[in-house]
Amino acid sequence: MPDQLLYAMEVSLNGLMAGIMYALVALGFVLIFKASGIFNYAQGVLALFAALTLVGLQQGQIPFSHVINAIFGTELHSFGWTLPAIVAIALTALVMVGLAWLIERLVLKHLVNQEPIILFMATIGLAYFLEGLGDVMWGADIKKLDVGLPQGISETIDALTFNAFGYGFFIDRLDIVAAVVAALLVASLTLFSQYTKYGRALRAVADDHQAALSVGISLRFIWVLVWSIAGFVALVAGIMWGSKSGVQFSLSLIALKALPVLMLGGFTSIPGAIVGGLIIGMGEKLFEFFAGPLIGGATENWFAYVLALLFLVFRPQGLFGERIIERV
């Protein structure tokens, strides 16, 4: 088998794995959009804040320690103990639920029935506030996140594919774990949205806030619920990205790569977020592999946005999004 074809297949497979990582972030955007009809600019920062909190709790770091030390002249840094990964993850999930409650209490409840652009601007302000809060609470240095996930290069596909020919594919073990986790998340969220009482209430709120209120659906509860779920999804994304590249403030920028994923898959489709991520991940890797050497490389920085632009022109609702028709 030609080496070029084998390399292309390996690039495609690694692109699919990268797409799964993009899709984990995009899932949080879909959940918020389905409940409120707005693009949550703060989702990437939620992933960063969750990862920072997880590392801080796991290492026993004292929140706001450098602020306390600067004010009182102390030398406080940690509690002197560390937490098991599963305990730290559970506590971080509770923190994200509490954060969702505070967001609804302090921000969203004052914006009921406001224009979508107002809600969108609120999420921009929330993103910068959470980024600053994470810096003050846990510090701005790059942190290593280790929750026991398998990492490193795996050749497990070798035995299943081209071992007889002497070829093998190399895949990061963490990407394999991310693919399994993403599949479980999509299945769970789809079942929740379609077959549970609160899932149906979530869709009703997304369609019409006033109509949902008129039939007894608590808008405030639904917003707390959906932001809590989005916070949990952000925690999962933060764990995967933080384990892969370290917990650093550039982690919040993954939201920018999730935007073209949403444009392809559709802002209202949970499975669409996964499909869009797979298309973006594989497409940018293959384009870089074939066209990169011809045009100077670095195509991964812009390929996703060009593809999203084409979708906006020819299919603005995305592959799985709902076509909205308004009568005037």
Q: Which amino acid is at 209?
A: H
DSSP characters over 75-140? ---B-S----HHHHHHHHHHHHHHHHHHHHHHTGGGGTT--HHHHHHHHHHHHHHHHHHHHHHH-S
**319 inside domain:** no
**242 inside domain:** yes
Question: pLDDT per residue over 130-183, tens digit each?
Answer: 999 999 999 888 888 888 887 665 544 543 444 444 555 677 788 888 888 888
**194 inside domain:** yes
- How many structural domains compose the chain? 1
Question: pLDDT per residue over 297-317, tens digit each?
Answer: 778 888 999 999 998 888 888
Residue of 202, 41, 217 whose CA lies nearest to 117: 41
Question: pLDDT per residue over 53-106, tens digit each?
Answer: 999 999 999 999 888 888 888 888 888 888 999 999 999 999 999 999 999 899
pLDDT at 323 over 80: no
Q: Which helix (H) or strand (E) holds 171?
A: strand 171-172
**132 inside domain:** yes
Q: Which residues contact 4 (CB under 8 A, 6 or more apart)?
A: none
Which percentage of the chain shows pLDDT scores above 70?
Answer: 91
**Residue 248 DSSP class:** -
Helices 173-195 and 3-36: crossing angle, nearest 10°?
Answer: 30
Say whether 5 sits in a helix, a strand or coil.
helix
Task: Give the range of the structural domain holding residue 140, as residue numbers without chain letter.
Answer: 3-314
Question: What is the chain's Cα-based Rg?
Answer: 21
Most confident of 24-28, 151-155, 235-239: 235-239
pLDDT of residue 314: 87
Most confident of 88-97, 237-246, 259-268, 291-300: 88-97
**31 inside domain:** yes
**322 inside domain:** no
pLDDT of residue 165: 47
Scanning 208-249, the segments in alpha helix (DSSP H) are 209-214, 219-245
pLDDT of residue 298: 78
Assign residue 184 a region (left: φ > 0; alpha: ψ between -120 and 50; beta: otherwise): alpha
pLDDT of residue 74: 85
**324 inside domain:** no
- Distance between CA atoms of residues 54 and 96, nearest Å: 11
Question: pLDDT per residue over 271-299, tens digit each?
Answer: 888 899 999 999 998 998 888 888 877 78
**327 inside domain:** no
Q: Which two tokens stand for residue 296?
A: 């100077």
Q: Which two tokens stand for residue 311?
A: 């979708």
